[in-house]
Amino acid sequence: MTPSPNAYKLIKHFEGLRLKAYLCSAGVATIGWGQTGKDIKLGLVITEAEAIALLNRDLATRAAKLNELLAGAKTTQGQFDAMLSLAFNIGNGAFASSSVLRNHKAGKFAQATASFGMWVKATVRGAKVTLPGLVTRRAAEAKLYAS
């Protein structure tokens, strides 16, 4: 499967576009719509066209990994887009061991929907805290997953 416009819309909405690199709440250098990586350094400035290219590349890579992790499990477009948004935000490693993926692959869709709500904390200044923005994002992802 590939990301639908709904996946792009959801990710863009919650990530927001920043054309100058900044430190996210977890202290990671970030640019565009939430892109991170070794090439992202504070002071970096990009154009919106470059941000679109970064997002397209990032989502293509993450979608390929999500398809691999799903291993053929029956998945609707809404479920795929919601899980892609979650994996985009928490990373493929964390998503691979998540109860969202585990429940989805087992066909336990109600439990998978509820499991999105477990991913609302981030490390801020060394402490795990619940972020209201993550609570809102997970609710939107769960709603898309269940659609």
Known catalytic residue at 15? yes
Enter the tokens of residue 129.
């805290």
Given the residues 24, 50, 68, 141, the one annotated as active site: 24
Would you give the end-to-end CA distance of the chain in angstroms? 17
The count of residues in the chain is 147
- Number of neighbouring beta carbons within 10 Å of residue 49: 8
Enter the tokens of residue 43.
């002071």
Enter the tokens of residue 103.
């429940």
Q: Residue 83, SS3?
A: helix
- Taken in order 102, 105, 107, 113, is the CA torsion positive or negative? positive
Known catalytic residue at 24? yes
Q: Residue 72, SS3?
A: coil
Residues designated as active site: 15, 24
